[in-house]
Structure 1
Amino acid sequence: MNASATTLASTEDNGQETGVNATLNEPISPDGTPEIGMTYTVPARCGRAVRVKAGQTIRIANPHGTQVCDTWIFNAQHLNEFLSFEHTRAFIDKIIPQPGDPLVTNQRRPIAELVTDTSPGVHDTLIAACDLYRYRNLGVEHYHDNCADNLRLALKAIGLRTKEVPQPFNLWMNIPVKPDYSIDWLPPVSKSGDYVDIRAAMDCVVVMSACPQDIIPINALNPLEVEFTVLA
């Protein structure tokens, strides 16, 4: 499930994976097209990419209630346009979107809308996807599965590539900002079976990573699977 790490300093962009896991060989279909209404699993520590057409809704579910899901949304026609939270926060005047809020791209136009959220609504839009260097900083010497590589590998599995790793929508990740502006890294407050519905405003590629973080307690130190379904 792992491979020798590379350094991004020797690459032309940030699209090169630093290791490999099962994500690369387990796409939901060759080009990421889903069967409508079918529930797919994103295995623990892995990622999946799915095509969602304009007007369709993707439901992302947390079967155990304790798992963070890093989520990205790309314009299917031009992957250099993507859900951008530095732009979305300015657009909605909120740190965390709520049902009815648009999710906008780095070109400041809606790519999707958060339609439903059955959880308490505690998610994160501030923290970068975990990567090889994050785990090195945490004292991990060997390769560790990570969300940045899960993004790269999930896209590669369906024949696509991103040149960068945008800020993800960290579903169910609990990073409270305290009065002194410091933060905590806490387990999710979601419950088993909670889900969000996100409706696409344009043809999209949605990528999800069942976050493999097991050094700090954001997944209750036990990474598990998440599920998703594309609805008509």
Structure 2
Amino acid sequence: MAMETVPARRGRAVRLMAGQAIRIVNTHGTQVVDTWAFNAADPGEFLSMPHLHAALGSVFPARGDALVTNRRRPILMLEEDTSPGRHDTVIAACDVHRYQSLGCAGYHDNCTDNLQAALAMIGFPATLCPPPLNLWMNIPIAADGRITWGEPLSRPGDHVVLRAVMDCVVAMSACPQDMIPINGRDCTPVEVQYEVIA
């Protein structure tokens, strides 16, 4: 498969057979990508951040880690990561309510709606929005449990490779957050690229 684009503020989804992988590239180095994975045969089984915390004993997945579902089974392997490795597993996907709480009066693009649109594009059943793996989202956690909305530590061209352990659907959203600096100091969402590899 050739390199494809997740447009700024939008989502895309792809089907992977067990053994295939997806390479997601942070083209500009500043873009957070909310990422989900679902069992291709059962949308009720999905990549789960709370279960991942228990499996890893950490909130930060690292190269070589198995990423597990809500049934505690590996669905993806984090095979490569050229970035400093700071990815968030704590924060929920943004939605219209999040932007309202930040002062947005009208509709705002959001990752929750991007997930549903991306799944619809490939004919996968709509589902509730599980907490995503927020690739390159930098959320420092202090000793007292407080969090900070940090800027990404990634660089242009950094990428991750996620290898499917089971037949699955991987969905991505180039997060449209433009009200706090999680997509860089200038708060400007941009596109990312991806490709399916053997």
TM-score range, shorter chain: over 0.9
Q: After TM superposition, list the pairs within 5 Å mapping 1:33-72 onto structure 2.
A: 36=1, 38-72=2-36
- Cα deviation code 1:43-80 (max 9, x no counterpart): 00000010111001110010100000000001011111
Q: Which one of 64, 67, 70 corresponds to residue 103 of structure 1?
A: 67
Query: Is the contact made by 2:67 and 2:76 (CA closer than 8 Å) also made in structure 1?
Result: yes
Q: Is 2:155 the counterpart of 1:191?
A: yes
* Stretches of 4+ aligned residues off by more than 6 angstroms: none
Alignment partner of 2:116: what SS?
helix
Query: Is the contact made by 2:174 and 2:189 (CA closer than 8 Å) also made in structure 1?
Result: yes
Q: TM-score, normalised by structure 1?
A: 0.83
Larger Rg: 1
Q: Which one of 122, 127, 135 corresponds to residue 86 of structure 2?
A: 122
- Cα deviation code 1:11-46 (max 9, x no counterpart): xxxxxxxxxxxxxxxxxxxxxxxxx3x110000000
Give the partner amino acid of 1:147: C
- Cα deviation code 1:123-157 (max 9, x no counterpart): 10000000000000001010000000000011112
Deviation (angstroms), 1:163 = 2.6
Alignment partner of 1:80: what SS?
strand
Which blocks of at least 5 consecutive residues in structure 2 are unaligned?
A: none
Corresponding residue pairs, total: 196
Distance 1:179 1:150 in 2: 33
Distance 1:155 1:57 in 2: 18
Query: Counterpart in 2 of 1:28?
Result: none
Which blocks of at least 5 consecutive residues in structure 1 are unaligned?
A: 1-35
Deviation (angstroms), 1:218 = 0.2
Indicate the structure with greater strand content.
2
Give the partner amino acid of 1:214: D
Query: Counterpart in 1 of 2:143?
Result: 179
Q: TM-score, normalised by structure 2?
A: 0.97
Give the partner amino acid of 1:45: R
- Cα deviation code 1:154-179 (max 9, x no counterpart): 11122222331001000000000012
Q: After TM superposition, list the pairs within 5 Å mapping 1:114-153 onto structure 2.
A: 114-153=78-117
Give the partner amino acid of 1:66: T
- Cα deviation code 1:70-94 (max 9, x no counterpart): 0000101111100001001101111
Query: Counterpart in 1 of 2:167?
Result: 203
Alignment partner of 2:46: what SS?
coil
Alignment partner of 1:165: what SS?
coil
Q: Which has the higher contact order (CA 8 A, sep 6+)?
A: 2
Q: Is 2:190 the counterpart of 1:224?
A: yes
Q: RMSD over aligned Cα, in angstroms?
A: 0.7
